Structure 1
Amino acid sequence: MAAGRHPRDRPRPRLGPRDRPGHVPAGPLGGDRVPGLNGRVGAVAVPAYFHPAAVDWAALADARLGVVVLNVDSGAGTVRDRAFAEVASRASDAGVRLAGYVDTAYGGRPACEVEDELVRYRTWYGIRMAFLDQVSAEPGHVLRYRRITAGARGRGMTYIVLNHGTYPDAAYSALADLLVTFEGPWSAYRHLRVPAWARRLPAERFCHLVYAAPRPVLARALARAQRCNAGVVYVTDRTGANPWDGLPEYFSSELALVYAER
């Protein structure tokens, strides 16, 4: 997806761990425990799908953020983009954790293509965290994603996010450090049901991305994330084809609520 565009359409509601089964990372984002959400582990993850010239990038120079997803051109692109390289450098200097966006086409892309894109992110932008999008949730694709995530780690990725956009088969929890298990509007988030296996894992293993949430429901959305055992969240009031093309009007308030105890 190019900067400023939404990922390809998917069923709504939609928008990492080692490869050996049963591995559970020690803490969110490489072991950093971020208190928030009334004492529960809490961090904000931002899908920053907008151009480097956008003023919103200045607001992202905040080391408290769990992860900021960089998406150059529906992925890393084919040539180094100087504007994105400058943004990535400034963000890294500020202590922001950047993840490179790669579309996996629900398992349809060969693992070598995914690996090559991640190498470009590492080489051109110094990024060593992977945000793999459009990830299958089906049990039949687990082995395919085991190869993909193993290849990503072999190419230097130290942290992997799988964006299913829904709760996948439980076996995927052994493949990534963080699973995005909800991406959708507030109207759907209010009715989200969490499977039993997901409640047995630490909250920092799960991320929820919620859009079309007006300011009056911000606190309720964050509280619902806590009840749904999601320790990494992003809530925005933006809507439309790409609700991730800018920050919410209440972004500073969202950070204050999540990181109130820091």
Structure 2
Amino acid sequence: MSYLTSTGSPRATAAAGRLGFGVPGYAHPLLAPAEWAELARPRTPLHWAVLNVARGPGARADPHCLAEATRLRDARVRVLGHLDVRFGTRPFGELLSDAHRYLEWYQVGGFYLDRCPTERTGLGEIRRVATTLRALCEGAYVVFTHGMHPYAGYVESADQLVTFSGPWANYRWSQVAAWTADYPPERFCHLVHGVPRSHLDEALRIARWQGAGTIYFTDRSGHGQTDPWEALPGYWDEIVSRIGPGVSE
């Protein structure tokens, strides 16, 4: 096997729950209507989907995004508003202003904090943000997106951490932090682009081995200015069938 863990043994809890998808944000509904329609398809094992109107909620309510957010809520899909933390440099007031717009315009059920810091020194401010978001939105589901394993204390302030975000070439040789073994798979998410169809089984084994409960794999690449998450992977139907049917919480 080409993947590693810090202990050299599989996570005992990784196989306990069913894998599901976390969608980090498709293109605008006018540009990606098929992608948004797929998210509402019955029995797709979807844990959450991110609404990113314009690197945030945008300057005004977008009727097309509202229609998709409403359709997903009706399908019992958890919709998260995208908040760019900018590695802890984004002013607190700006983040709250964006959060209010997401709640008022799109009635989101939580927030996806993108570009979160990873160091211990950044934890206090991110904890403050998460606590305030939960006060604004009862039952809010909060995802911290670090893209790598952060200081362990972050896990106590989020519902889920994105501990890997990057290309397949790195993922297949990635290692899991030892502290993650103290938490169940539903606390961790892996986002991987450039995964060839022929390596889907291997990628799924890595996710389970490393204890991730939520994934998003795509064959699209992130080279240049291309956003690999904006469109469906070419093997969407295949990976949905491999994971199996499910419903969002």
Q: Same fold (TM over 0.5)?
A: yes
- Which residue identity is paired with 1:109? R
Say whether 1:147 aligns with 2:128.
yes
Aligned residues: 226
User: CA deviation digits over 1:60-112, x for unaligned, max 9?
Assistant: 11363100111000011121011111111111112211111110011101222
Residue number in structure 2 paired with 1:178: 160
| C-alpha separation in 1, matches of 2:126 and 2:178 | 22
- Give unmatched runs, 5+ long, in structure 2: 1-13
Match of 1:244 among 229, 232, 246: 229
1:40–1:226 CA contact under 8 A, matched in 2: no
2:22–2:48 CA contact under 8 A, matched in 1: yes
Residue number in structure 2 paired with 1:197: 179
Instruction: State the Cα distance separating 1:39 from its structure 2 match.
Output: 4.9
Residue number in structure 2 paired with 1:136: 117
Say whether 1:99 aligns with 2:80.
yes
Residue number in structure 1 paired with 2:27: 50
2:130–2:157 CA contact under 8 A, matched in 1: yes
Residue number in structure 2 paired with 1:74: 55
Match of 1:165 among 130, 147, 170: 147
Identity of aligned residues (%): 38
What's the RMSD between the two structures over aligned residues? 1.6
2:57–2:98 CA contact under 8 A, matched in 1: yes
Say whether 1:156 aligns with 2:130.
no
Report SS of the residue matched to 2:170. Answer: helix
User: CA deviation digits over 1:145-174, x for unaligned, max 9?
Assistant: 111111111111611000000000001011
Instruction: State the Cα distance separating 1:41 from its structure 2 match.
Output: 3.5
Normalized against structure 1, the TM-score is what? 0.82
1:48–1:68 CA contact under 8 A, matched in 2: yes
Instruction: State the Cα distance separating 1:217 from its structure 2 match.
Output: 0.7
Say whether 1:223 aligns with 2:205.
yes
Normalized against structure 2, the TM-score is what? 0.86
